[in-house]
């Protein structure tokens, strides 16, 4: 079989069952540009490394991408080859050589940075600074507020919910995304009848500090909390970038950073964080654990003073 046949078979029979079939389509388009009509035997370490290099230089696709993006596209190729072998379209499995994983993002927001990000979404910036400390002492609304971005930020910081799940939130029960049950005080992250994926979306109680905001948003919006002119948006890009720039934060501050910030700064036990955010305890420990102020606090107390000699 050609690689194009394998990708077409995967796109027709397997991709529709996945959580984000449109993402598979984007990956396949780029993979076809490089692997296209070549036979499956062409897939080896050399060709995979050449693909990563070509994607990084912008020779494939519309623009250069990171190694992480190229890796995710090769993972789609690996899934397509595995599926073809499982369905007996290929006699033997075809391994794909993946580049090393990018280091986990360690950036998180302090309380002040989160406040500045929220202020940026509302068009509020510093208008006066202290001469000696260079710290802002006066704030004012100088730009048009983006209320839907502010709601997006508050939900992310209080619940640690993923980007796409926040944008899909509605006010009533539906099958395409989650919803807020204000009567019972529960936030359902997954639509009714939607299959659970590896990125789990468990229902959680609406945090007490967020509940008054949600009740007010319900009165002033139509479909869901993160809507613009009465319509839910598909991706939080321009509004987020504007709020981040007005807050004076760097490009490393992406929407996913709200999940990092959410609860580990509150010194909540890891198993509770895992259940609340829908993330495995191992991932919490390996990726986010060192962000917590209480990280290794027991060891810190043990290695102190006279206890060290014992």
Per-residue confidence at 272, pLDDT binned at 50, 70, 90?
Answer: low
Q: What is the Cβ-side half-sphere exposure of residue 197, based on CA atoms within 13 angstroms? A: 11
pLDDT, residue 241, reads: 93
Say whether pLDDT at 243 is over 90.
yes
Residues facing residue 204 across a β-bridge: 187
Hey, which residues does 129 pair with through a beta bridge?
136
Q: Which distant-in-sequence residues (6+ apart) come within 8 Å of 303 by Cβ? A: none
- 270 versus 135: the higher-pLDDT residue is 135
Residue-wise pLDDT tens digits, 70-81: 999 999 999 999
Q: What confidence tier does 104 reach under pLDDT thresholds 50, 70, 90?
A: low
Give the per-residue pLDDT at 174: 84
* Phi, psi at 109, each rounded to 5°: -100, 135
Residue 171 · residue 223 · CB < 8 Å: yes
45 vs 98: CA distance, rounded Å: 8
Q: What is the rounded average pLDDT of the residues 249-268?
A: 76
More confident residue, 115 or 195: 115
The answer on pLDDT for 294 being more than 80 is: no
On the question of pLDDT at 94 being above 70, the answer is yes
Percent of the chain with pLDDT over 70: 81
């Amino acid at each position: 079989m050609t690689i194009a046949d394998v990708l077409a078979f995967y796109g027709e029979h397997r991709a529709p069952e996945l959580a984000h079939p449109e993402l598979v389509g984007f990956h396949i388009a780029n993979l076809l540009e490089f692997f296209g009509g070549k036979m499956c035997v062409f897939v080896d370490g050399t060709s995979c490394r050449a693909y990563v290099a070509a994607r990084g230089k912008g020779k494939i696709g519309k623009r250069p991408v990171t190694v992480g993006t190229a890796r995710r596209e090769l993972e789609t190729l690996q899934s397509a080859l595995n599926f073809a072998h499982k369905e007996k379209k290929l006699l033997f499995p075809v391994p794909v050589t993946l580049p090393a994983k990018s280091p986990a993002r360690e950036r998180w927001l302090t309380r002040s940075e989160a406040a500045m990000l929220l202020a940026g979404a509302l068009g509020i910036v510093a208008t006066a600074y202290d001469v000696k400390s260079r710290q802002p002492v006066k704030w004012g609304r100088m730009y048009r507020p983006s209320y839907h971005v502010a709601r997006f930020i508050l939900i992310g910081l209080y619940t640690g919910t993923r980007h796409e799940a926040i944008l899909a939130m509605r006010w009533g029960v539906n099958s395409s995304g989650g919803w807020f049950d204000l009567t019972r005080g529960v936030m359902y992250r997954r639509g009714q009848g939607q299959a659970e994926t590896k990125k789990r979306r468990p229902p959680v109680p609406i945090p007490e500090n967020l509940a008054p905001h949600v009740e007010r948003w319900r009165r002033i919006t139509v479909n869901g909390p993160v809507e613009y002119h009465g319509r839910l948006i598909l991706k939080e890009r321009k509004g987020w970038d504007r709020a981040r720039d007005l807050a004076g934060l760097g490009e490393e501050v992406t929407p996913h950073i709200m999940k990092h910030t959410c609860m580990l700064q509150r010194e909540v036990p890891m198993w509770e964080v895992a259940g609340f955010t829908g993330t495995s305890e191992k991932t919490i420990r390996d990726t986010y654990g060192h962000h917590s102020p209480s990280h290794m606090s027991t060891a810190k107390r043990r290695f102190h003073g006279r206890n060290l000699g014992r």
